[in-house]
Chain A
Amino acid sequence: KAGVTQTPRYLIKTRGQQVTLSCSPISGHRSVSWYQQTPGQGLQFLFEYFSETQRNKGNFPGRFSGRQFSNSRSEMNVSTLELGDSALYLCASSKGQGNEKLFFGSGTQLSVL
């Protein structure tokens, strides 16, 4: 069974640009969650999608958005990039029933110059 796949693995962007990250969950998983990981801050919750609907949302500005497709694949978009957006963005999937473990991808390392 393939794991959670995130693409691309690395990205370098400049301030003001936008970026789209992709996540393919484990087959059969309908929930996809996104996290931002930075040293000292741990994992900050961005949002969670279940069956194409955003079910939970963290405390990030509106520049951070996402969506989920009918095949459960998810994309995350960050517009008007800032230097502080440099981080590892992790995607995690689960069946979405609320009390189960998350399966994480390797992440996309975003560097904003």
Chain B
Amino acid sequence: EVQLLESGGGVVHPGGSLRLSCAASGFSFGDYTMAWVRQIPGRGLQWVASSAPSTFYAGFVRGRFTITRDDSKRTVFLHMRSLSAEDTAIYYCAKARSPYTSETFNVWGQGTMVTVSS
């Protein structure tokens, strides 16, 4: 069974940093684009970053976030710094539907909550 399991969320002070992890199983991890998508509770979905393995970022990231992956450990990370209250959201890890493509996501994790608050 294909599964994604996020971890690393929590409460962080404004200006702080956090690293999210997403452990994958059930598919050939290295062949797939992986992404992070976030959702402010009660609001819509917002793509954050992708690793294909070349990396791509949404404009609002502004150099604050870095996506990395360790194919040997089947894990993708999101390193976040200079966090502000506007970054408070559920962060989902997602897998591209087909290998060697970046079209859309057919498997999502359960999400990890990041709260930026003093």
* Chain B associates with chain A: no
List chain A positions with a Cβ less than 8 A from chain B: none
List chain B positions with a Cβ less than 8 A from chain A: none
